[in-house]
Amino acid sequence: MKKNWDNPEALPTRPMPHHASVPGELWIGGVRVAPATVLAPMAGVTDTVFRRFIKNASMFTHPAQPVDHARSADSTPSAVPAEPGCSALQTPASLAADVDAATSNEVSGCGLIMTEFTSADGLSRMRESKRQRYLTYYEDEHPISAQLFGSNPATLAESARICQDAGFDLVDLNLGCPAKRVVSCNGGSGLLRDLPRIQEIFEEIRKAVSIPFTVKFRMGWSDSSIVCVELARMAEDCGLSAVALHARTREQGYSGNARWEWIGAVKDAVRIPVIGNGDIRTPEDAAAMVEATGCDAVMIGRAAPANPWIFRQIAQYTLSRQQTGVGVYDQPTEMDRYRMIRGYFDRLMAEIAEHPEVNGPAETDLEKRLKRNHESAQRDAIGRMKQFASWFTHGVPGGAALRREIFEARRAAQVIERVEAFFTERAEAGWTTPAPDAGFQPEPDSDLNQAPSAWG
């Protein structure tokens, strides 16, 4: 299923927010989420490497300062045109915290991160060593929520216990994935046609874990069967700690516009926190959603891979509006983009290094297994490099040429060489080109191409 990850012409013109801002904090059960922004679970995207990059990119120095548009010796022009009320440049004077700086004196703009959605059936059948790999996270990722999908109440409850025992702060149930293979197993949004089964799942998971339990769902299967308000009330009655609504139906997939009025309807119907999701691409969108719906937090999905700094920008925008009445936020420089993409690649290469390569012919069973592991890890890393580069070079002048070169690469070292050459050439040219690279729409992996789902 194509996700239309970047199709601004399909978005409605949202009114500029006048009063509301993204809240500074949200309590989900006993877990504090500050600020009230959430990285959505995305199959094939939100692995531990990407989640930590989002956390890193979200760090900002309190407060954001207006930018001097005069170029200093150590600043570079942004490739991204300024939005209304935004700074066109990011300089050390405007944002002391670089994306790879220490975080001791900084604040994260992303309050909660979520894993890729994980098959409860697969998780319950895995041997312990494999399970630990799929549930890997680092201490700097807290608070973190593990998302599960499936349709068997007992299996989902067991998998929720596994996640709790693994140290996750929250567990979340996926009732939103529209992928055919997931729906055909009555998982994801397929369950929206069976509310009694959902209630049974809610009750079993709630009995199984003591950590906060949440659910992410869509409005309903189709326009003729919208169930989001009824489902939210059921969640509250079953003791869930919060709900998140992606304001589209399963039939819509990722097309059309998110209908925020249904987020408002859910907020009016329940007392537990409501998280809004759908069509947030800028800080202005995040504030507009809060103003239009009254939701307690915002969840961002498809905008994050193309702009990992969006959480920091929301925090800066909110803070500057509170202090001055004018929302401003910094745009990433090309040096920021270079550091981010290289850092992401370096972490992927570190994963390859964990699989020792056997030089020469593999003769023993152990040598053959090690060689297969190394080759598999390298293929996966190269695939993720290409995927990440396609998102991350959108909007960078000349990015289309770099993407073509990366897609032609066969080894991880070739990908890195081409990225280095591209940004070196851009730096030597003063980071300037006649016009930005426009019109590119990243092609995401399908919803089933996630690392930890484990279908069998």
Q: What is the CATH number of the domain that holds 141?
A: 3.20.20.70
What is the chain's length? 456
Confidence class for position 81, pLDDT limits 50, 70, 90: very low
C-alpha 232, offset from chain centre = 23
- For the cut 80, the answer to whether the pLDDT of residue 118 exceeds it is yes
Q: What's the pLDDT at 354?
A: 59
Q: Which stretch of DSSP H or E encloses residue 147?
A: strand 144-149
Say whether both 134 and 15 belong to one domain: yes
| Alpha carbon distance 368, 364 (integer Å) | 6
Q: What's the pLDDT at 101?
A: 35
Q: Give residue-wise pLDDT tens across range 164-201.
A: 999 999 999 999 888 888 887 878 888 999 999 999 99
- For the cut 50, the answer to whether the pLDDT of residue 420 exceeds it is yes
Q: What's the pLDDT at 41?
A: 94
Say whether both 289 and 371 belong to one domain: no
H helices present in 238-364, as ranges:
260-269, 283-293, 303-306, 310-324, 334-353
Catalytic residue (choose from 110, 177, 238, 295): 177
Say whether both 74 and 221 belong to one domain: yes
Say whether both 51 and 196 belong to one domain: yes
Q: Can you say whether the dihedral through the CA atoms of 240, 246, 247, 250 is positive or negative?
A: negative
Percent pLDDT > 90 in the chain is 40
CB 25 within 8 A of CB 60: no
User: Structurally, how many domains does the chain consist of?
Assistant: 2
| Alpha carbon distance 118, 63 (integer Å) | 37
Block residue for tokens 């516009």: 257
- For the cut 70, the answer to whether the pLDDT of residue 227 exceeds it is yes
163 is catalytic: no
Q: What's the pLDDT at 115?
A: 94
- For the cut 60, the answer to whether the pLDDT of residue 439 exceeds it is no
Say whether both 315 and 340 belong to one domain: no
* Mean pLDDT for the stretch of residues 438-446: 33
- For the cut 60, the answer to whether the pLDDT of residue 3 exceeds it is no
Q: What's the pLDDT at 113?
A: 96
Say whether both 359 and 275 belong to one domain: no
Say whether both 377 and 287 belong to one domain: no
Q: Give residue-wise pLDDT tens across range 65-80.
A: 443 323 222 333 233 3
Domain membership flag for residue 317: yes
The domain of 360 spans: 334-428
| Alpha carbon distance 208, 195 (integer Å) | 20
Q: What's the pLDDT at 374?
A: 61
Say whether both 357 and 306 belong to one domain: no
Block residue for tokens 């998998």: 159
The identity of residue 378, as a single letter, is Q
What token pair was written down for 164? Answer: 């709790």
Q: What's the pLDDT at 363?
A: 58
- For the cut 90, the answer to whether the pLDDT of residue 313 exceeds it is yes
* Mean pLDDT for the stretch of residues 422-439: 60
Domain membership flag for residue 434: no
Q: How many CA atoms lie within 13 A of 272 on its CB side?
A: 23
